[in-house]
Structure formats: structure tokens, C-alpha cells
Amino acid sequence: MLIHVSKWITRPFGTCYHHIRLTRCLLLPNPRGANTMFLVLTTPSTSNTTYTNEFGVPQYQVDTRSTRANRTSFIRRVSQRQSTASPHSDLDVFAINTPQRSAAIDVATIRWNIVKSTVIDFGGKERQTKHWLKREDVSYGFSPRVMTARDGREYRWTQNPETSELQFRTNNTQDVLVARFHAEKELPAFSPTRPLPALEVLPEFEHLAEEILVTFVYVDNRNSRKSPSRSPSRKGSN
């Protein structure tokens, strides 16, 4: 939810007083059920990109690094915090142009394996994907992955047979849509001229956003039968 905050303040300049109106756009958490959460990709790769919200503010970073022996994806949450260079409040005229510093908080690590089971370190616990994201047997096409989330409920990653859209749904008779990946999504507040790929999380399931993102990165790369994309800055790695 985007709101505008305005405030009149008075500052002395020599012997005169100037009244200055300050207006800032503040991005506040959406009230539950208000708006859908979007994690928008800034590159075509799901395993080597920055995920922003629908306004272009970075939320998560996924960086995949390769060596001769292995390949690892690091998933981090971007935490925006105000610089401590100025002691003034957020609405202080002298603090308005103070740059923000961002801090990356580790969320998960994916250690990709081809022969053995891939290992995901998430929530302080290492999980083998053959157990945490169990493959359902299918005769052809996409193989759904079933997992138990931290809320104790079962969910599954599946694919819409008509659109090939990846979907995250409850694994029960209700079969409720939880999240889905849009190859192209119109987001006028961020990209008014062209649609962008985006992971959509429905409001009532935002508490699962990080589990959804982590498992999405794994499932999408396994589904496409390709190795996770390397970081452009490390093209020389094998």
C-alpha cells in the first residue's frame, strides 16, 4: 500500500523563518486481504536475480555461484534501514536526501546436486529435496512436488496443463490456489511499458512467502531441466 505523508515544518535561515512542506511516499505492509503480493524478477533467470515488490523496491536477492565441484544458490532478504548519518526524524528536511543502506539477511541456501538429492538449508535446518519436496509419480510431463510447510499443512507445486503456469496449491480436497508464477505480468507502477515476470502470492498466504520463494527457485530450475543460472559476474566459473 502506497501512501503520501505530508508535514509542514519551520526552519530558521538567518533572521527569517521558512515554512517547508515535505511529502514522502511510504510503502506500508498491506492489511491482510487487501492486495496481492508480487515478487517481480529484474532478470529472466529465477535463480540469479533480484525480486522486487510491485513498486520496484528490492525484497529478495538470489545469487547462484559455481565452482568446478558444485553450484550453490544463495537467497537473501533485503532489509532497508535508514542511514544513521543524520539524527533527525524521517520527515526532517535535513534527512530527506540521506541515502538508505540495505542489509542482506540470509534466508536459504540451495546446494544443487545431479546424482544425489539437492540440499536446501532453510530456517536453520538442512533438508534433502527428495524428502522435503517429494515427487509425485506421473506418467509424463511435469512431476508435482509435495511439501509440508512450517504451518503444518501440505502444499504442492504443480503445473497448469493448459498454460504451463507453475502453481502452488493446498494438497487437499479444497485444492486452493496459494501462489503462481506469471511469465508476464502487467505492473504499471513499476514497469508501465512492458510486462515483467512475477511470482504472485495470495494475501492469506503471505506468511509462507519465503517458503514459497525458496521452493519456487528449486522447482522452476528442476522443471526446466537446466542448471541454475550463474551470476554474470562469475561467468568464468565452471
The full DSSP string for 135-170 is EPP-SSS---EEEE-TTS-EEEEEE-TTT--EEEEE
Q: Is position 17 within any domain?
A: no
C-alpha cell read off for 148: 509440508
Assigned domain for 21 exists:
no
The per-residue pLDDT for 100 is 54
Residue 235 has pLDDT above 90, yes or no: no
Domain ranges, residue 90: 33-234
Mean residue pLDDT across the chain: 78
CATH number of 102's domain: 2.40.160
The predicted pLDDT at position 211 comes to 98
Q: At 70, list the grid cell.
A: 558444485
In a domain, 221, yes or no: yes
Number of structural domains found in the chain: 1
pLDDT of 27: 41
Tens of pLDDT, residues 45-101? 999 999 999 999 999 999 999 888 889 999 999 987 543 333 333 433 333 333 455
Q: What is the dihedral of CA 36, 39, 44, 48, to 10 degrees?
A: -160
Which helix (H) or strand (E) segment is 195 a member of? strand 191-201
Residue 5 lies in a domain: no
Q: How far apart are CA 183 and CA 196, in angstroms?
A: 7
Q: Give pLDDT, residue 43.
A: 94
The mean per-residue pLDDT over the stretch 19-43 comes to 60
- Cα(217)–Cα(235) distance, integer angstroms: 20
Q: What percent of the chain has pLDDT over 90?
A: 53
In a domain, 6, yes or no: no
Q: pTM value?
A: 0.73
Buried (b) or exposed (e) across 30-63, using 16+ Cβ within 10 A? eeeeeeebbbbbbeebbbbbbbbbbeeebbbbbb
Q: Is 95 exposed, middle or buried (0-12, 13-18, 19+ CB in 10 A)?
A: middle
Buried b / exposed e along 148-181 (16+ C-beta atoms within 10 A): ebeeeeebbbbbeeeeeebbbbbbeeeeeebbbb
Mean pLDDT in residue range 6-26: 40
Considering the domain boundaries, does residue 56 fall inside one?
Answer: yes
